Amino acid sequence: MNLSGISNESLVGRALRTPFRLIPAAAAVPILQGPLRGRRWIVGSATHGCWLGSYEFETQRAFSRLVRRGDVVYDLGANVGFYTLLGARLTGDEGGVYSFEPLPRNLEFLQKHVAINGLKNCFVVDAAVADCDGEMRLDPSEAPTTAHLADGGGIVVRVVSLDSLVEGGQIRPPGVMKIDVECSEVKALRGAERTIEEYRPRILLATHNRELHAECVEFLERRGYRVEVLGEASMAGAELVAWP
């Protein structure tokens, strides 16, 4: 059942979600369906759709098309780790997942999800991804899913460029990159330019406004990628898959 597709504002949506209030937020429960079925999830870490297995159903499908057994996956903007867990299952022990997340609240849940599932092929990086190395300010936002780099942000966080990490041998080169970094997607791509040109990873990318979407598409097409938009692009951006 794809509960995530039923609005919280509808009568049916409210009725279906009412029993979930009885589940303690700190409870770790098995994910009920989908490719992550059986993995453990902390109920209060994110939307109930995550442990129900219906979270971002179409995006899950797109991600699963990209990842192959043995791949190295970069999860940029890992949040609390749904795609980290999915990447770890799809790649198997021969592959690996590097998960980048700067917001302390999300980072704590991300590390817990890796730990309670006993994942040995996941490596959490406490940083945001951009086009430089150093520190930047982060706006934690009202919702932990929309924290973003911003000059006026209330938290100082570490930032890294993927090129420096790969070239320094700190992380393995990618086969797949999932990028959802709340308006820093162009910075993330620029900071991975040499890595993308050399290793040609398959890319799942969320853009967050029309201008950023156009910049990302141009960046990728200039490097020989075929871009496939998932759904319809809007003023709020879109999700896209880029194939080398």
For 20-42, the pLDDT digits (tens) are 677 889 999 999 999 999 999 99
Name the amino acid, one letter, at 241: V
- Tell which wins on pLDDT, 28 or 1: 28
Entry pTM: 0.91
Q: Which of 4-8, 65-69, 217-221 has the lowest mean pLDDT?
A: 4-8
Question: Looking at the predicted structure, is the pLDDT value of residue 12 above 60?
Answer: no
Calculate mean pLDDT across residues 44-58: 93
Amino acid 116: pLDDT: 98
Q: Determine the topology of domain 56-243 in CATH.
A: Rossmann fold (3.40.50)
Query: How far is it, in rounded angstroms, from Cα 106 to Cα 171?
Result: 22
d(CA 13, CA 19) in angstroms, rounded, equals 11
Record the tokens describing residue 55, joined without a space: 């979270």
- Span(s) in the chain for CATH 3.40.50.150: 56-243
- For the chain, give the percent of residues with pLDDT over 90: 86
Instruction: Report the pLDDT averaged over residues 238-242.
Output: 95
28 CB burial (10 A radius; 0-12, 13-18, 19+): middle
Contact 84, 78 (CB under 8 A): yes
197 touches 223 (CB < 8 A): yes
Q: Which of 33, 66, 13, 61 lies closest to 225, judged by CA? A: 66
135-140: long-range contacts at Cβ-Cβ below 8 A with a sequence spacing of 24 or more? 135/159, 138/102, 138/103, 140/103, 140/105
Predicted confidence band of residue 232 (pLDDT cuts 50, 70, 90): confident
Query: At residue 147, does pLDDT exceed 90?
Result: yes
